[in-house]
Structure 1
Amino acid sequence: MVLNFAHRGSLTEAPENTLPAFQKALDHGTKAIELDVQLTKDDRLVICHNHTFSKYNREINGRIRDFTIDQVKQVDVGSVFSEEFKGVALPTLEEVLEICPLDVKLNVEIKNIPVIYPRIEEILLDCLRKYDRLDNLVISSFDHVALEKVQQLAPDVELGMLFYYRILRAWEYAKDSGLNITSIHPNNVYTDRKFVEKCKENGFNVYPYTVNSVKRYEELVDFGVDGVFSNNPAVFGG
């Protein structure tokens, strides 16, 4: 089965990484959702891709890490998308888990660069355990040290290794990392048939990002990818 992740929810229909975006993805019948986690000043898991609020309000200085969850909840991240979503705030991971059915696979990406969040791995796993969400889940990151910490704390959790730039023989790097990597998540720009075949020969699923063109999606499926991350409901929809 090809598994297509709604990237930050249905971000063309609602503000990315918000409850309305995740709900719209679910309404499309998606079988998988990708989201990004960071920590607030008081160590709450908040869903956000960027490390600052500049995408939503350029007058707010500082990074997510500089604000408590109560302060984060006061920031309107919806108006910049449209008036329909005025007053929408960034959700906590708990809020997302409350609305996301267990049969929808989650890809939780730890956003650990450029900010390094001490203990985010432990806090994340505690939250997932609380909601019984360690199954049908993959934890991914560009920070491979964070993946190592997750493995030390929860050896059975699926790990996804993110790559932005091309590196020589990424599949060998993943295999030699000492991590129990389940999937490799490459930038789709350089994902070709050889890359996919080599990854799969070494036992890895391949989920390229971010694939919004149906034509490109069909090409990647022909290469043998196991799924993609996409902003396009025509790709991630059920």
Structure 2
Amino acid sequence: MTLIYGHRGAKGEAPENTLASFQKCLEHGVTRCELDLHLSRDGELMVIHDPTLKRTTGRRGKVVEHDAEVLHAYDARQGGPGWPQPTPIPRLADLFEHCPFEHWQLEVKSASRVRAARMVMAIKGLAEHYGLQDKITVTSSSREVLRALMRRAPELSRGLVAEYAWLDPLKVARQYGCNLLALNWTLCTPERLHKAQQQGLHVSVWTVNEPALMRRLADFGVDSIITDFPGLAVETLGKP
């Protein structure tokens, strides 16, 4: 059975990476999610995709230039589907408190060595505090982040995000001891999928929004899909 992950919650149905979006995902019975993390100026993990605020809040500046309390006051419903109420940028801790997901894919974008280490330590601390070490896979396309995970939080599951074919994703995943491969669906051939699974990787394919594509990838045997429309995925593939 192919598992379903809500992409940034339920990005196609509610403002991405907000509490409303993750609650919408859970309403569909989808208990796995993917989200993106950046550090605030005062070192809190904030759930937002871009390093800048413009696209989702209309504000100027970078996430890292603002404290968590200020970021949490910003309404992040711009550029997504219409939504009646303000939807603040959540702290990761807020989601851990309010959303009972069975598994979380936490994506960390590329970062300097120092920033990668800070983010990994912050994730490790929250995972320990909430007892979620076994329910988290930290994913990244950044070797710096994967290296920091190996060194500073070896107990956390790691995943490689592979968007382009210029590197052999299986070789990189093996090099950094990954358990999961988050693969752009255009790279998902039956041969690559089979090789990855032989290597012991859970293959999670993104971003899959068309029912016909969902069915095709499920027939290939992917372990999970990441979708903006978790409700549609449940209708198409059934509840995992």
Q: Shared topology, TM-score over 0.5?
A: yes
Q: Map 1:67-86; keep pairs closer than 5 Å.
A: 67-78=66-77, 81=80, 82-85=82-85
Give structure 1 regions of 4+ aligned residues with deviation exceeding 4 angstroms: 113-116
CA contact (8 A) 2:76 2:89 kept: yes
The code of the aligned residue for 1:109 comes to E
User: How many residues were matched structurally?
Assistant: 233
Cα deviation for residue 40 of structure 1 reads 0.5
Aligned to 1:25: 25
> Cα RMSD between the aligned structures?
2.0
- Mapped to 2, the partners of 1:158 and 1:195 lie a distance apart of 21
Aligned to 1:192: 189
* Length-normalised TM-score, structure 1: 0.90
CA contact (8 A) 1:230 1:236 kept: no
- Mapped to 2, the partners of 1:105 and 1:236 lie a distance apart of 17
**The 10-residue stretch of structure 1 (163-172 or 185-194) with the greater mean CA deviation from structure 2:** 163-172
SS at match of 2:11: coil
Cα deviation for residue 167 of structure 1 reads 3.0
Q: Map 1:47-126; keep pairs closer than 5 Å.
A: 47-58=47-58, 60-78=59-77, 81=80, 82-85=82-85, 87-101=86-100, 104-113=102-111, 117-118=115-116, 119-126=118-125
Cα deviation for residue 151 of structure 1 reads 2.2
> Please, which runs of 5 or more residues in structure 2 have no aligned partner?
none
* Length-normalised TM-score, structure 2: 0.90
CA contact (8 A) 2:54 2:61 kept: no
Q: Map 1:146-161; keep pairs closer than 5 Å.
A: 146-161=145-160
Change (3 A) 1:111 1:236: farther
Cα deviation for residue 148 of structure 1 reads 2.0
- Mapped to 1, the partners of 2:79 and 2:194 lie a distance apart of 42
> Please, which runs of 5 or more residues in structure 1 have no aligned partner?
none
**The 10-residue stretch of structure 1 (71-80 or 31-40) with the greater mean CA deviation from structure 2:** 71-80
Sequence identity (%): 25
User: Could you report, residue by residue, the CA deviation over 1:179-212 in whole angstroms, capped at 9, with x for unpaired residues?
Assistant: 2211111111121111101111222121111011
Cα deviation for residue 149 of structure 1 reads 1.2
The code of the aligned residue for 2:2 comes to V
- Mapped to 1, the partners of 2:68 and 2:227 lie a distance apart of 28
Aligned to 1:135: 134
User: Could you report, residue by residue, the CA deviation over 1:101-151 in whole angstroms, capped at 9, with x for unpaired residues?
Assistant: 25x211111123599725111011101110111112211011122122112
CA contact (8 A) 2:111 2:144 kept: no
